[in-house]
Each structure stands twice: as structure tokens, then as C-alpha cells.
Amino acid sequence: MADHTHDLFVIGGGSGGVRAARFAAQRGARVGMAESGRMGGTCVNVGCIPKKLYSYGAHYAEGFTEAAGYGWEIAQPPTLNWATLKANRAKEITRLNGIYEGLMTNAQVLRLQGHGRLLDAHTVEVTSDDGKTTRHSARHILIATGGTPFVPEFPGCDLVVTSDDMFDLPVLPRRLVVVGGGYIGCEMASIFHGLGAEVTLLYRGEQILRGFDEEVRAFTADEMCKHGVDVRVNADVARIEALPDGTRRLTLKDGAQLDADVVLYATGRRANVRNLGLEALGVRQAESGAIEVDEHFATSVPGVYALGDVVGRMELTPVALAEAMVLVDHLFGPAPGQSARTMDYDNIPTAVFTHPPIGTVGLGEQQARERFGAIQVFRGDFKPLKHTLSGSSERTLVKLIVDAASDRVVGLHMVGADAGEIVQGFAVALKCGATKAQFDATIGIHPTSAEEFVTLRTMARG
Ligand code: NDP
């Protein structure tokens, strides 16, 4: 231990890296951290936070329309000043970058601006923006370098943008084509439609949002279409050309053509492992590039650890934070009076900020049937009270999946306003193993959409 200048050296200042550095330092470890970009990683700079801010911005569009049903007379059709939205977002992100820097300073972490690369299992070389290199020795090294958007190779792939570019587009596109039906594709399609673009979403399979409950997928696709997003399934791009006026012309594999000002490829993300020195060191990676780790986030090379998006288990900020706490407990011992945490990937709630959003925790209907055999499905879809006057035809879906043998609720799903906010609370109940009888014994809060979860009495499917 005395041979090394650091107990822990972290490469990557995103959610997972910052959490590990901060809590390791709190346990008395000497910690160093290299980050080549701005602090906060994907979540703060080009992910969760700016995305959610733009989603709030986009929701005003329907708010303006719906307000008429409540008697508001808006004289002029409201217009979006894209430059103002971008500038206000940038200011907030800069403030958050500063907070993350402050977390490192206050924890007395040695913060280095530059690209970190492993020279061996205990040495990191950091190259600063001006090309100067420094070497740092550490008992443990943590790789928390996150992920980066993936665009497949095809004719015209250089004419597309990725989610990283969407927040600072010079001009709000009039026509946007989004390729990919996952989290990012669906969220960006909803957001940019709300901000005023004509949006077409192209998905190569039968239904968007693979992995989610089938009914949730279909319901969300319908609602997105009702809102005005042109969702096209079984649509695969063959090539893209640039016309002289800058228009992107897409030709699909079935020969159909469509024009756009911007084409966003949201076709997944890959581990950010470039130039880290992993191959030379023999750090085992999956075919996708994701670093392979055990339950303590140890890689195949003793002393080297990895967590967060770079290990590609569940690419969610709160998961990276939890993984970091598990690692800190493992390397430096748990907090006084507590036992070392372990990572449990069951019942992790998640939201997709489509319009309307999805909130989900536990298993989908099909997954639950495979796991438990006999299940009971309770569901309801309804027009929320707000829309009785707003004129909107938006509906809300609530759904519970119950294991018939134990009566435990093993899946809870919602598509509707504030689904993320609502499902977070119910996730605690699922984590505690709540039964359908306990849901039924809970008094609702009236009038809310959330109360529907405790008033679902009629079984839809057994
Ligand atoms: P996803 O894996 O969720 O979706 C990728 C989409 O692109 C899928 O629809 C996939 O189709 C499609 N696709 C993949 N390759 C191709 C190809 N070659 N041609 C055409 N289509 C293709 O990735 P995202 O980039 O949307 O998001 C990455 C991760 O980031 C998510 O899984 C999530 O963990 C996280 N995230 C979380 C958010 C949140 O919590 N709200 C928000 C945004 C991201 P197919 O289904 O057929 O494979």
C-alpha cells in the first residue's frame, strides 16, 4: 500500500466514477480522478438532465393547447425560441459541472483534467489536453468511462447525428427522422415533436421498446402516434444521401423514400473503452466491448475494477451509483455500523420520458408468465381527469402482474403523466414483496391517476 501514491485512481468523472471517488475518500482513501471532458459524464452533459429539461420544455406545447379547455385564451400561437432553451440548458449544465468539481475538491480527491490510460495494473498515465503526460500509481484502479452512441456502417452513415448532438443543434429541425425504437429514440422523438419538429420514428422490428411489457409497448406506440409522431415499424434504412440544399434523403429497404433536415441515429450505445490500454493489459471484454466484471466489479486483471455503463449491465445512473457504493464497501469497508452492500438487479424501476412517459418496475406479463407460470393480470386504461376539460384524447394505462401462488405483485407498469414519479414509490412496495391483498388494503389518494393501482379489482387475464 505504501508503494502507491493513491489507494484508488478513477478514470471517468461520470455518475459512477464520482460516487466511487467521493465515498472512497470519505472512508479515508487517497483518491485520484482523471476526466477528459466536463464533469458529470453522460447523465449531466448529454443524457438524463438535458433530456429531461427539454422534455419539460416540450410538454408546454400540449399545455398551451389544453389550456383552452380550462378557459385560457392565448392570443398568439406561442413560438419556441430554440436559442433561449439551449442557452438556459447550457447554463444549468455548467452549474452542475461546477457542483461535480466541488464534490471532488471537498472530498480532497486529486482531480486531473485529461485522458487516463492504464500502463499496468497499478499505473495510470494521464494525458492532458495540451499533450503533457503524468503517471499515477494506485493500489486499485477503477474504469468508469461510460458509453458512447453507436451508429452502424451503411451508405450515408456520416450524414447522421447522435443523441450527443441533439442538444446543441444550430437550428431546430423542421423535419426530424429518428432511427431506433429504444429509450433514446422514443424519448427524442417525443421531445422534438413537442418542441415543434415533424418527427418520423423508424424502427426495424415489429414494435418499439423491445424488452418492455408488450401491452406497454403497443399502448405507448399508439399514444405517440396520437400525439403526432409518425411511428413506422418494420422500417429499415438502406442508404442516406445529402441533397444540394442539405436535405437528407433516406431510402428504406422496401424502396420508400423520405426527406429530413436531421437524421438521428439512436441505435444503442457501446462501452467507451478506446485507448484505455485494456487489450495490452489483458482486461477481458465482451464482444460488444463491455468490460467483464464479477459481483465486486473486479475485472479479469487483479487490482483493476469497472462499473457503470462501461460494464453494460443496466445503463442507468442510479444503477452506476449503487454499483459504486458496492465497490467502495468492498475495497474500503462499509460505513461504521453497516454491512457491506451487494448489488441486486431485480426490481430496478425505470422510466422512459416519452410523451406520455412510461414508468415500470418488475416483470412484464410475458416474463412473469415464464418465471412463475400462473399469474394474474390486473389492468385499466382511462382518460385522466385533467383531460375531461383539456380536449386531449390521451389515455393512461396502469397494469399489475401478480404471482398467483404467493399473491405477490411482481410487475407494475404505467403509461401516463408523471409515470416516473408514481412508479418510484410503488417500487419500494415491490422491493418489500407487497401482495395484491396489501395493494387492495391501501387507501387511494383521490382524485389521482396513482390511486388506480390500489383499486384494480377485476382480473383481466388469469
Ligand atoms: P437501446 O438499446 O435501448 O435501443 C436501441 C434501438 O436501436 C433498438 O430499437 C434497436 O433495435 C435499434 N437498433 C440497434 N441496432 C440497429 C441497427 N443496426 N439498425 C437499426 N436499428 C438498430 O439503446 P438506446 O441508445 O436507446 O439507449 C441505451 C441505453 O441507455 C438504454 O438501454 C438505457 O439503459 C439507457 N437510457 C436510459 C434512459 C432512461 O432511463 N430514461 C434514457 C436514455 C437511455 P432492436 O430492438 O431490434 O435491437
The mean pLDDT of 178-207, rounded to a whole number, is: 98
Closest C-alpha residue for ligand 1 atom 7: 267
Task: Give percent of the chain with pLDDT exceeding 90.
Answer: 98
Atom of ligand 1 nearest to the CA of 209: 9
Task: Give the CA distances from residue 120 to residues 280, 308, 408, 445, in Å, rounded to whole numbers and listed in that order.
Answer: 9, 22, 49, 58
Closest CA to 221 of 98, 85, 358: 358
Q: What is the pLDDT of residues 393-414, one digit of tens each?
A: 999 999 999 999 999 999 999 9
Longest dimension (CA), the chain: 73
**What pLDDT is attached to residue 1?**
46
Return d(Cα 32, Cα 25) in angstroms, integer.
9
Rounded mean pLDDT of the chain? Answer: 97
Strands 147-149 and 123-127: unpaired
SS3 189: helix
Q: Which cell goes with 2?
A: 505504501
Give the integer Cα–Cα distance in Å for 254 and 239: 11
Q: Is the CB of 267 within 6 Å of ligand 1?
A: yes
- 3-state DSSP assignment of residue 429: helix
What's the whole-number mean pLDDT along residues 292-309? 98
Q: How confident is the model at residue 424, as a pLDDT?
A: 98
**Does the beta carbon of 152 sit less than 6 angstroms from any atom of ligand 1?**
yes
**Ligand 1 atom 18, closest CA:** 152
Domains (range + CATH), the chain: 6-48+85-148+270-332 (3.50.50.60), 157-267 (3.50.50.60), 350-454 (3.30.390.30)
Rounded Cα–Cα distance for residues 7 and 112 (Å): 16
Instruction: Locate the ligand 1 atom nearest the alpha carbon of residue 208 and give its number.
Output: 9
Q: Which residue has the cell 444521401?
A: 241
| Number of alpha carbons in the 13 Å side-chain half-sphere of residue 277 | 18
Mean pLDDT within 217-221: 98
- Who's near 133: CB < 8 A, 6+ residues apart? 125, 126, 127
Q: Is the CB of 351 under 6 A from ligand 1?
A: yes
pLDDT at 386 over 70: yes
In the prediction, which pLDDT does 23 show?
98
Q: Confirm or reject: Cβ of 182 under 6 Å from ligand 1.
A: yes
* pLDDT, position 76: 83
Ligand 1, pocket-test mutation among 43, 44, 187, 204, most atoms within 8 A of CB: 204
Q: Which atom of ligand 1 is nearest to the CA of 317?
A: 40
* CA-proximal residue: ligand 1, atom 14 (nearest): 267
* Ligand 1 lined by 185 (C-beta under 6 Å): yes
Q: Determine the pLDDT at residue 3.
A: 82
Q: Which three cell numbers stand for residue 350?
A: 425505470
Q: Are the C-beta atoms of residues 418 and 357 closer than 8 Å to each other?
A: yes
Residue with cell 387475464: 461
The amino acid at 67 = A
What count of other Cβ atoms lies within 10 Å of the Cβ of residue 232? 17
Task: Please list the active-site residues.
Answer: 446
Q: Is the CB of 394 under 6 A from ligand 1?
A: no
Minimum CA distance residue for ligand 1 atom 35? 315
Residue 346 to residue 391: CA distance in whole angstroms: 39
Q: Using DSSP, state whether 371 is helix, strand or coil.
A: helix
From ligand 1's centre to the CA of 207, what distance in Å?
13
- Grid coordinates representing 203 are 424502427
- 269 alpha carbon to ligand 1 midpoint, in Å? 7
Q: What is the pLDDT of residues 316-332, one digit of tens each?
A: 999 999 999 999 999 99
What integer pLDDT is reported at residue 345 of this predicted model? 97
**Is the beta carbon of 180 within 6 A of some atom in ligand 1?**
yes
User: Is the pLDDT confidence value at 211 over 50?
Assistant: yes
pLDDT at 77: 85
Angle at 265 between CA 260 and CA 271, to 5 degrees: 165
Is the model's pLDDT at 136 over the cut of 90? yes
Q: How far is the CA of 204 from the centre of ligand 1 (A)?
A: 12
